């Protein structure tokens, strides 16, 4: 398996700037438990770009909805990976949404918008809906599926122990075999197609 995904020089500069902002904000609000730059690169960016490389192309023109964006993963790296994708970050906490706005503004990401409310209040649908490390997984998962267009994809970055739960909660999804995410954190990319 190839490691994570290939990124270009511009993306490396964006990642460096993003990390600086994340570390600054993380001192006052809890955005991530990972506190060192190397860990952030591996755990957050590596996993997010891995997902992007399997779910998007660099010139993909679809819509992505990232539910429970928090510190912006995987939604913002997906926007960085595919500048032609239209990405919506759903984040209900105001301070986290403010952080996301600063990253978007600083990196001049024109293909991203923030919905600062709960997923169940969002009234649009997307070609791809992503979910990674959200609280109350069982409660949020059905709302995430409602945001997927018929025939669209749901991309879950979950622990292997959550795979059976996802299948049980969402029986009307055609699941693809899970992909092990590199990095040794036993997270998988589990993709389903909405019937």
* Distance (Å, whole) CA 23 – CA 32: 9
Could you say which of 3.50.50.60, 3.40.50.150, 1.10.1060.10, 3.20.20.140 is the CATH number of the domain covering 9-194?
3.40.50.150
Which pTM value belongs to this model? 0.94
Nearest CA-CA partner of 67 in 25, 124, 19, 108: 124
pLDDT tens for each residue of the chain, 195 residues long: 344 567 778 888 999 999 999 999 998 998 877 777 777 887 889 899 999 999 999 999 999 999 999 999 999 999 999 999 999 999 999 999 999 999 999 999 999 999 999 999 999 999 999 999 888 899 999 999 999 999 999 999 999 989 999 999 999 999 999 999 887 667 899 999 999
**Main-chain dihedrals φ then ψ at residue 27, nearest 5 degrees:** -70, -25
Kindly write down the DSSP assignment for every residue of the chain, as one continuous string. ---S----HHHHHHHHHHHHHHHHHHTTS-S-S--SHHHIIIIIIIHHHHHHHHH--TT--SEEEEET-TTTTTHHHHHHH-TTSEEEEE---HHHHHHHHHHHHHHT-TTEEEE-S-GGG----EEEEEEES-SSHHHHHHHHHHTEEEEEEEEEEEEGGGHHHHHHH-TTEEEPPPEEPTTSS-EEEEEEEE-
């Amino acid at each position: 398996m190839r490691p994570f995904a290939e990124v270009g020089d511009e993306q490396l500069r964006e990642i460096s700037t993003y990390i600086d902002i994340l570390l600054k904000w993380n001192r006052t609000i809890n955005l991530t438990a990972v506190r060192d730059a190397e860990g952030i690169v591996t755990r957050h960016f590596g996993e997010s770009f891995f997902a992007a490389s399997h779910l998007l192309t660099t010139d993909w023109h679809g819509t992505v909805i990232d539910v429970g964006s928090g510190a912006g993963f995987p939604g913002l790296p997906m926007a960085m990976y595919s500048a032609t994708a239209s990405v919506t970050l759903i984040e209900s906490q105001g301070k986290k949404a403010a952080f996301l706005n600063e990253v978007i503004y600083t990196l001049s990401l024109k293909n991203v918008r923030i919905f600062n409310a709960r997923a169940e209040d969002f009234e649009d649908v997307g070609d791809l809906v992503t979910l990674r490390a959200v609280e109350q997984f069982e409660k949020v998962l059905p709302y995430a599926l409602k945001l997927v267009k018929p025939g669209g994809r749901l991309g879950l970055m979950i622990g292997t122990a959550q795979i059976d739960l996802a299948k049980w909660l969402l029986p009307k999804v055609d699941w693809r075999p899970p992909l092990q995410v590199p990095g040794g954190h036993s997270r998988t990319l589990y993709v389903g197609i909405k019937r």
